[in-house]
Structures are given as structure tokens and as C-alpha cells.
Structure 1
Amino acid sequence: MQQLYEMNQFLYRPLATFPPYHPRNTISKAIIRLFHAAPDLSELAVFVNQQPIQKKLPYGQLSAYMEWDEGVYEIEVFKLATKERILSSRMMINGNETYTLCITGARTGFALLTEKQDSLIKQDELSALTFIQLSPDLPFIDIYERDQGMLSKELGYVNGTQTHHFSPNKYHFELKAAGTQSVLLDIPKVHLQTKRAYLILLHGFANGEPELMAKVVLSHQM
């Protein structure tokens, strides 16, 4: 049985099995990029429908966006050094959506993030920000902005916060162990610009190497 976890529009799919299916030609396109968030894996090669789309994807790197037709795709991930296939999955990609496909680990598989389109930032001169938790050993966390207080509580693994809106400025965020004042990670000097949507991707090990990091990236807005 296929497992599917849906958390705040954040879809996590372990190694899944679907009937064979090929993407169909359609006007409806998806925008998708890859993020190597697996701290237990080094450089990877990624194939889609047996064709290489990323010949070398280092840990912590985000690919450029790509256009895909709507359909079901076979995604395969190989260790670059040994050519060993470590992940394989078929997943549905819907047209008119923007995705970040996160490679989370040799055992955990993939996490498919649907990036929300945010009309509010265009109307009210605001910026939008969503936190995504991809660190496998990070405990539940509360997220604070140093001047504004708590933004989100008890964020768990392979999950995302609701979208937060800010006036354009520089902000200082803190990750704290849930229910405590113990700071696990400082994220200072995050410059949020008007009419932009951002993701903060939390990855790495809370206890080990590579260490816990926050990657601030722009989210594509149609």
C-alpha cells in the first residue's frame, strides 16, 4: 500500500509504486526544481523517465526551475560516485503548479512541495515566507522572529508552516526546541523584499555533520 502524508500542502511520498504511465502532451505545464536535502547522501545524479536531468547535484544545492508536461513521471536517483540507484518513484505532476521536489534521504525518499501562489503580496506590497522542515533528527521546533515573537509552533519533520506575510525589511529568525527557550539555530539578516515569496528550507543534522542549516530561496510566482 502506498503511503501518502499531506501536511499543509506539503506532500511526502516514500518509495511509491504506480502502474506504468507516460506523461501526455498538454498545454498545461508544471514548473519544478530539485533540492538535495539528504544529509546522508553526497553527490547525486537524477534521471526522469530514464533521461538525465541533473548529472551532478551536490548536497544542499537547488536546481533551476524546469518546465514539465502534466503527467506521471518516473524519478530515479543515483549515487554519482558508484552509479548505484538509491531511490526510485513514480509521481503525478499536475499542470499549472509550481513544485520543489526534495530528496530527503536514502530511506525517507522524496518530499514533493507545492509552492503556493500568493496574491496578497501583489496587492498589499508585502513579502511571503514559508518554513519547510527537512532535517531528519531535528526535534519539534517553535519558530520565532526576534522582534515579533512566535510565528509557528511544533513544526515537525517533512512539514511546512503556513505562509507568513511581512513588510519588506531585514528579519532575524530563531528556531527553538518546542516549548522551550533553547535556540537550536539562528537565522539572522534575512532580507525580505516586496512582492516576493520565499522559502526557508531547513536541512542537515541537528546532531552531526553536515550540520543544521537554513537555505533562503525565492519561490516562483506565476
Structure 2
Amino acid sequence: MASKEEMRRWIEKAYRYLLLADYYKYMDPDAHIHFYRKHFKYARKVAKAYRSGKVMEDWQPIAQQRPPREDGSAMVRILHASPDASLVDVYADGKRLARNVKFGQTTDYRALPAGSRKVDIYPAGRKGTPVASVRLSAAAGQHYTVAVVGRKARLELLTVEDRPTRRRGMAGIRFIHLSPDTPRVDLAVTGANVLFEEIGYKERTDYLFLPSATVNLEVRPTGTERAVLKIPNVKLTADAAYTVYAIGLLKGKPGLRGLVLKDG
């Protein structure tokens, strides 16, 4: 009987080699054939185990999530993505969570008691009427990014769950579009495949799993091959997950900027 670990290893290798075979399909036929043969080798192992019934029925290909924090806390970080807002302070239920956060800055994750929490932002150093608020349902053990988005005349707080489903040996990547004057865009690997298509402002993708690698990414207006933002040397490490954020302005200052944050 194939063990859980054997089945996990075979399926992950089959998946990894299939990705590589697809990547090289039109670029390098020899590499395509090389990786497809490797994919077929491990896919056949999996199929043989299922046909013979020699497989543990409770096998699961997805790694288990981290257990909840013992203290019942959630973890929250702040991202300032409003291109024309000045420094801000962030409070949760009246207690300061972060101060003097500037455009393009991300705080570390910080513990926040689980439950319904009211998150407010104020101009730095002034705690009168909040300029934006959001109600965060914080689950114990969960990670969140609260992003300050929009123009300063109409700021918003956007809550993002940083809850990647990890696949052992693979890197997860997703994309979130936070540039208020940029139309729908695609995120692509430079000179290669498009990873995500037609992503609009404040939209987010699911995670896509790739082999660990260092890649050059670029953001393109949907349907074109003209990069309006290049994000070089993005290191994707196995067993980790990342969010790529596009912030700033397409026409104006500060210009478009890419942020790559490790999640969880």
C-alpha cells in the first residue's frame, strides 16, 4: 500500500514536471519532452496505485493549515496603498495598531484579539473623526492584511485574508490590483506565460502554485504585451505563499509600484 508521503511526493512531482513541460512547450521542444517524460513517470505511479487499490484512502494532497494561535489571537498587518494620502495612524477598537504609516509601507503582522474588531485610520498624530473605518471579523489563528486604498478624498479600508492553501514543495502566488487609475491588467512572467488575466481595481486572484524559482514579473493592460510595471527578481520559495500588489498611479505621481509580500 502506498503511504501518504509516497502519494504526496508522486503527485507533487507529476504536477511540477507538467508545469515545466507546459512552460517549455513552444520555447524549447527538447526541454518540453524531457519534463513531460518525468511527468508521465510519476503520473503512471499514481495511476497504478489507484488501479491496484494500494493507496491509503484518507490521503490528502494539500498540506494542513497552521493550528490556531494558543492565545486566541488573529494576526493583522497594515498596507498603505493610497497614492495621495499622507501618513496615517491605525487603531483597532480604540487601541493604536500602527502609527506614521506612509504610502508603500507595510507593517509586520501584529496580534489582535479574535472577534469583531473596528479598525479606524486617522491622519498621523490626530485622533478626531476617523477618515475611514472597517469592521474586521478576526478569526483566531488567521492572518489579515488591512489595506488603505483609494484617493485621500475618499479613503477606504480593504480587508484581505492571507490564508493560502499550501502545497508541499510548491510556491503560491496571487495578485491584488490597488492602483485607482489603472484599468484591468494581466500579470505575466516576462517573456513567458500570463499568470492572471483581466484583474480590475480592488480585485484579487486565488493562489496559483508554481515550482520554486526567481522570476521577473510584469503588469500589462489586459490584451496587450506592453508592460506598464516591471517587478524583477521575485524569489518564490517552496512551501511559502506570496501576494503581488500593484499600487500607485499609472498617470501621475507616485508612479506604479509593485510590492511582493510573504503571506501568513
When normalised by structure 2's length, the TM-score is 0.68
Distance 1:182 1:117, change over 3 A: closer
Paired position in structure 2 for 1:87: 132
Alpha-carbon displacement from aligned partner over 1:196-216 (angstroms, at most 9, x marks no partner): 211111111111111110011
| Alignment length (residue pairs) | 192
Task: Tell me the equivalent position of 1:201.
Answer: 245
**Structure 2 residue aligned with 1:96:** 141
1:140 aligns with 2:211: no
- Could you say if the C-alpha distance between residues 143 and 117 of structure 1 is closer, same or farther in structure 2, counting changes exceeding 3 Å? closer
Quick one: which of 82, 98, 119 aligns to 1:54? 98
| Structure 1 counterpart of 2:108 | 64
Q: Structure 2: which amino acid aligns with 1:86?
A: V
Partner residue, 2:118: 74
CA distance in 2, matches of 1:153, 1:169: 21
Of all paired residues, the percent bearing the same amino acid is 24
**d(CA) in 2 for partners of 1:166, 1:147:** 16
CA contact (8 A) 2:166 2:172 kept: no
Deviation at 1:82, TM superposition (A): 5.5
Q: Determine which structure has the larger strand proportion and give its number.
A: 1
SS at match of 2:254: coil
SS in 1 for 2:134: strand
Query: C-alpha deviations, 1:147-203, integer Å up to 9, x for none?
Result: 431111100111112212222221011111111222211111111122221111111
**Which blocks of at least 5 consecutive residues in structure 1 are unaligned?**
1-25
Q: Which has the higher contact order (CA 8 A, sep 6+)?
A: 1
SS in 2 for 1:209: coil
Alignment TM-score, normalising by the size of structure 1: 0.80
Higher normalized helix content (fraction of residues): 2
User: Which amino acid in structure 2 is aligned with residue 100 of structure 1?
Assistant: T
Please state if 1:111 is matched with 2:158.
yes
Cα distance in 1, alignment partners of residues 82 and 186 from structure 2: 22
Q: Does 1:175 align with 2:219?
A: yes
Q: Quote the residue 1:191 is aligned against.
A: 235
Gaps of 5+ in 2: 1-69
Query: What is the aligned-residue RMSD (CA, Å)?
Result: 1.8
Question: What amino acid maps onto 1:68 in structure 2?
Answer: L
Indicate if the aligned counterparts of 2:166 and 2:240 stay in contact, CA closer than 8 A: no
